[in-house]
Chain A
Amino acid sequence: MSQHLESSPPVYAERNYLNTPATGLKSWLTTLDHKRIGVMFLIATLFFFAVGGLFAMLIRIELLTPGPTIMDAMTYNRLFTLHGVVMIFLFMIPAIPSGFGNFLLPIMVGAKDVAFPRLNLLSFYIYLLGAVIALGGMIYGGADTGWTFYTPYSTTTTTKVVPILLGAFILGFSSILTGLNFIVTVHTLRAPGITWNKLPLFVWSIYGTSVIQILATPVLGMTLLLVAIEHAFGWGIFDPGRGGDPVLFQHFFWFYSHPAVYIMVLPAMAVISEVVCAFSHKNIFGYKAVAYSSLGIAFVGFFTWGHHLFTSGQSAFNAGIFGVLSMFVGIFTAIKIFNWVATMYRGSISFKTPFLYFIGFLFFLFFGGMTGIALATVSLDIHWQDTYFVVAHFHFIMVGSTIMAFLAALHYWWPKITGRMYNERWGLVGATLVVSGFVFTFLPQFLLGNEGMPRRYFNYPERFQALNVASTAGASVLGIGFLIILIYILVSLKYGPVAGPNPWGSRGYEWLTPSPPPLENFDVLPAFERGPHEYHELPGSESAAPGAGTSHA
Chain B
Amino acid sequence: MSDHTSAAATAAHSHAGRYLVVWAALMALTALTWGLSTIHIPGLAGVAVALAIAMVKGTLVALFFMHLWDQPGPNRLVLVTSLVFVAVLVTLPLLDNATRFPLANPPDAETAPQRIRDAILNEGPPAPAHAPAHP
Interface set of A (CB-CB < 8 Å, partner B): 187, 211, 215, 219, 240-245, 247-248, 251-252, 255, 302-303, 306, 309, 313-318, 321
Bitwise, B11-24 to A at CB < 8 A (1) or not (0) is 00000000000000
Asked if A245 and B105 make an inter-chain contact with CB atoms under 8 angstroms apart, the answer reads yes
Which residue, B92, B95, B125, B126, has most C-beta atoms of chain A within 10 A? B92
Assess A315 versus B100: contact at CB under 8 Å? Given A215-B82, A251-B93, A302-B85: yes
Give every chain B residue within 8 A of A315 (Cβ-Cβ): 95-101, 104
Assess whether A187 is in contact with B108, with CB atoms less than 8 Å apart.
Answer: no
CB distance from A541 to the nearest CB of B (A): 31
Are B89 and A255 within 8 A (Cβ)?
Answer: yes
The CA-CA distance from A318 to B100 in the complex, in Å, is 9
- Identify the interface centre among A248, A252, A314: most chain B CB within 10 Å of its CB: A314
Closest-CB distance, A295 to chain B (whole angstroms): 11
CA distance A300 to B81 in the complex (A): 13
Seed contacts A243-B107, A255-B89; 13 additional CB < 8 Å A-B pairs = A187-B74, A215-B81, A215-B82, A215-B85, A241-B126, A243-B108, A244-B106, A306-B96, A315-B96, A317-B95, A317-B96, A318-B99, A321-B92
Q: A219-B89, A240-B106 are in contact. Are A245 and B97 (CB under 8 A)?
A: yes
Using Cβ atoms and an 8 Å threshold, which residues of chain B touch A244?
A: 106
How far apart are the CA atoms of A248 and B96 in the complex, in Å? Answer: 9
Closest to B98 in A: A315
Known: A215-B82, A215-B85, A245-B106. A306 touches B100 (CB 8 A): no
6 pairs of A and B residues whose beta carbons are closest in the complex: A315-B99, A317-B99, A313-B104, A315-B100, A251-B93, A318-B96
User: CB of B48 within 8 A of chain A?
Assistant: no
Contact residues in B for A248 (Cβ distance below 8 Å): 93, 97
B residues adjacent to A (C-beta < 8 A): 74, 81-82, 85, 88-89, 92-93, 95-101, 104-109, 125-126
- Which DSSP category, helix, strand, loop or mixed, fits chain A's interface? helix
The CB with the most chain A CB atoms within 10 A, among B74, B92, B96, B99, is that of: B96
Smallest CB–CB gap between B6 and chain A, Å?
A: 15
Main secondary structure of the interface of B (DSSP, over half): helix
Residue pair A247, B96 in contact (C-beta under 8 Å): yes
CB-based contact A251/B100 at 8 Å? no
**Residue in A240, A251, A303, A313 whose CB lies within 8 Å of B107:** A240
Could you write out 30 A-B pairs with CB less than 8 Å apart?
A211-B81, A215-B81, A215-B85, A219-B89, A240-B107, A241-B125, A242-B126, A243-B106, A243-B107, A243-B108, A243-B126, A244-B106, A245-B97, A245-B105, A245-B106, A247-B104, A248-B93, A255-B89, A306-B96, A313-B100, A313-B101, A314-B100, A315-B98, A315-B104, A317-B95, A317-B96, A318-B95, A318-B96, A321-B92, A321-B95
How far is the CB of B135 from the nearest CB of chain A, in Å?
Answer: 17
Measured CB to CB, the nearest residue on chain A to B101 is A315
Q: Do the beta carbons of B106 and A318 come within 8 Å of each other? A: no
Q: Which residues does chain B contribute within 8 Å of A302, judged by CB atoms?
A: 85, 88
Report A209 CB to chain B, min CB distance, Å.
15
The residues of A that contact B107 with a CB separation of less than 8 Å are 240, 243
Closest chain A residue, CB of each to CB of B120: A243
A303 to B95, CA, bound (A): 13
A144–B108 Cα gap in the complex (Å)?
30
Which chain B residues border A314 with CB–CB below 8 Å? 96, 100
In the complex the two chains form, what is the Cα distance from A309 to B95 in whole Å?
14
